Amino acid sequence: MKQTFLIASLFLLLVACGEQEPASSTVEQTAVVEQQPADVAADAVAQAEDDVAVATEEVVEESAAEPESGEQEIVLALADAPTATQNWQFKEGQHYVRMVPTQPTLGGADKIEVAEFFWYGCGHCYTFEPLINPWADNKPANVRFVRIPATWNNLLLLHGRLYYTEEVLARNGVIKDPAAFRDSIFQEYHRRRNQMGTEDAIRKVFVRLGVSADDFDRTWKSFEVDQKLRVAADLARRYSISGVPAIIVNGKYRSSGKEAGSYPKLLEVIDELVARESAR
């Protein structure tokens, strides 16, 4: 009888322990829910700080490591570029003028265009010539250099036609050495004191320099030369050219020896403006 009672008591005790499991579990879950707004949030913040610390350590270790490929070296070089572009020597409004909006250029957008407005009879252009020529001969590969004659009065318009006649004849192979021919025209005006104020006077100079009268006449009166003169006049208006020599970089910047401070400085301004455009 006692044995039966003990077995029954043990059975009841086991059943009672089994029924307490859910109750105990419910209390624990409730306690966890109540801790989330405070304790668990604090634990999450602490964990996030630990994660940030770990991430920071990993970044430092990766930065300090030797680059594994050329790609990473390129990325580092690019990252340094913005710092370099902040060290420009020349200032807008002082050494050059920025034209707004940007104006058209003679050539396409495949290269950065540097244009010199000039006049054969200008003493300053004559002085600048020995400086701009070596620069043009050694310009960067992404730069196109062009000359545009000033045309704001009758004599300049006549000399503009002279220049474009010379240019077309050089392109067609009639003038074999364009640089020497251009220098001869400068010397004609500034050394020989020949102002070349008429078409006939200009023809005589061309003939003396080896161009036949027929080649001269055919080119001088050509539609191509007329069109080049119209474009030159339009660009001078767009660029607000009021004196020569004047430099235009990519239809966007205008400068001169006066603004730059000297003609050697003007070359430096050109180089910096080309660098600005190249960095775009």
In the chain, % of residues over pLDDT 90: 69
Three-class SS state of 105: coil
Where along the chain do its domains lie? 1-65, 93-278
The answer to whether residue 78 scores a pLDDT higher than 80 is no
Average pLDDT across the chain, whole number: 79
H/E element, 102: none
The stretch 244-253 carries a mean pLDDT of 98
**Angle in degrees, 0-180, between the axes of helices 223-238 and 154-171, rounded to the nearest 10:** 120
H-helix or E-strand spanning residue 117: strand 112-118
Reported as a single tens digit per residue, the pLDDT across 225-234 is: 999 999 999 9
d(CA 48, CA 54): 10
- CATH code of the domain made up of 93-278: 3.40.30.10
> Nearest to residue 77, comparing CAs of 87, 62, 67?
67
- pLDDT tens-place string over residues 86-132: 589 999 999 999 999 999 999 999 999 999 999 999 999 999 999 99
Distance CA 244, CA 232 (A): 14
Give me the pLDDT at residue 86, please: 58
Residues ≥6 apart with Cβ < 8 Å to 179: 133
Check whether 172 has a pLDDT greater than 90.
yes
Q: What global pTM score does this model have? A: 0.70
Work out the average pLDDT over 169-182: 98
Amino acid at 116: E
Checking if the pLDDT of 56 tops 70, the result is: no
Cis amide linkage into residue 67, ω under 30° from 0: no
The answer to whether the CB of 128 falls within 8 A of the CB of 264 is: no
